[in-house]
Amino acid sequence: MQDIALFETPGFGRVLTLDGVIQVTTGDEFIYHEMLAHVPIYAHGAVRSACVVGGGDGGMLREILKHPSVEQAVLVEIDGAVVDFCREHLPSVSAGAFDDKRTEIVIADGITFMAETARKFDLIVIDSTDPIGPGGVLFTESFYKDCARCLAPGGIVVNQNGVPFLQGEEVTDTWRRRKPHFADVGFYLAAVPTYVGGFMALGWASNTTDARAASVETIRARFQAAPVTTRYYTPDVHKAAFALPPYVQAFITD
């Protein structure tokens, strides 16, 4: 369904592109995957069921499945060729997550899956391409509404939301489209070297305000009780990531 390319670089290692757009590099993928997985999981405190929409490289599954509380992780990927390709050529990214007994792989359109499923999830991670091509439907209000319906009480939705310095309209659009359907909508930031333009925005939505409001002491206690190995995420980075510079805050408007 997409043009897949893989090449080697001296600084970023193996680089995967879809339709000419960089999706993942073995050099810095840990930053993106850790922040989209561990921030909501430690904020929630008891994630048992997770759904990843997109994420065919397996990196998001890898980080989610580091948590022993997670009993099931469903990967919904529109393009099975991406999963097969990454299994063969980027095995370090998934690190065995595709074969974990808790993993369920569904090759389907994410928007159709969310519209039709009766399942409930504590965490939904939208690990999609930008809102062009196949990924465009995953930034629509109807899709966000379906995600809200599929959340268990206290559930959280997170997604990649572009680089605000260059793609500020994506932040505004996501804010407006999610606000009618969730109790709490916001954004947090991560510095991913691959993505030109400064901080990457990560979208946040929940049917409760409690998760984002969890104190750094609470996050530290949860991290100490159920630690995972990380190279970027810490409880302090977790809390600091929600502090938005004024130029990013300006995009959060009605």
Residues with catalytic function? 127
Tell me the C-alpha distance between 130 and 178, whole Å: 17
Q: What does residue 232 show for φ and ψ, rounded to 5 degrees?
A: -130, -50
Q: Work out the number of other CB atoms within 10 angstroms of the CB of residue 132.
A: 10
Structure tokens at 221: 């206690």
Amino acid, single-letter form, for residue 79: D
Nearest to 167 by CA among 117, 126, 210, 130: 130
Helices (H) and strands (E) in the chain, counts: 11, 10
Tell me the C-alpha distance between 41 and 71, whole Å: 13
Tell me the C-alpha distance between 236 and 95, whole Å: 26
